[in-house]
A = this chain, B = another copy of it.
Amino acid sequence: MERTSFADMPCPIARSLDQVGEGWSLLILRDALLGARRFQDFEERLAIPPNTLARRLKLLCQRGLLERRRYVERPPRDEYALTEKGRDLLPVLLSLAAWGNRWLAPEGASFVPIDRETGRRVDPVVVDKRTLRVLAAGNVALKAGPAAPASLRRALVRPAIFGGQS
């Protein structure tokens, strides 16, 4: 219920959470990225209650992250394919997984991402596309964008620094 209002916030983080912030959603998308397509694929991999899965898949289709497609006519059988919008979440999942491996895997990583071609382990970091500078707390700030409402513009006359110094 609280979740519904996130879509109306101007913040792109809030809007994203409105679409994919419910826990199972990102795990469903993770498995779709790893090749799951049919209802049973998701059900087996996730050990998710079928009702919850059906509801989540429907929402992810409505939001344009998955696309429902008929792959057999008789009997009718549908599968769920990722859209470009859904595929584009992989970098978010990789940065979240990297954080999880750093902070929540004291026994060592169970999964590691590798370069598909070389097979070498990759270490996902977030950089600026142009300068390749690593983006982290202390060197990034926030300013009002072209679509910012006037109140936001006033609040961000000076850019707000993502600092969080302790």
A81 within 8 Å of B by Cβ?
Answer: yes
Chain A contact patch, size range = 35 or more
What is the copy number of this chain in the assembly?
2
Chain B residues whose C-beta falls within 8 Å of the C-beta of A75 in the assembled complex:
none
Cβ–Cβ contact B164 & A111, under 8 A: no
With an 8 A cutoff between CB atoms, is A76 at the interface? no
A128 touches B123 (CB 8 A): yes
Q: Which of B10, B19, B111, B138 contacts A145 (CB 8 A)?
A: B111
Of residues 137 through 166 on chain A, the ones whose CB sits less than 8 Å from some CB of chain B are 137-149, 152, 156, 159-164, 166
Of residues 110 to 154 in A, which have CB atoms within 8 Å of B's CB atoms?
110-117, 119, 122-133, 135-149, 152
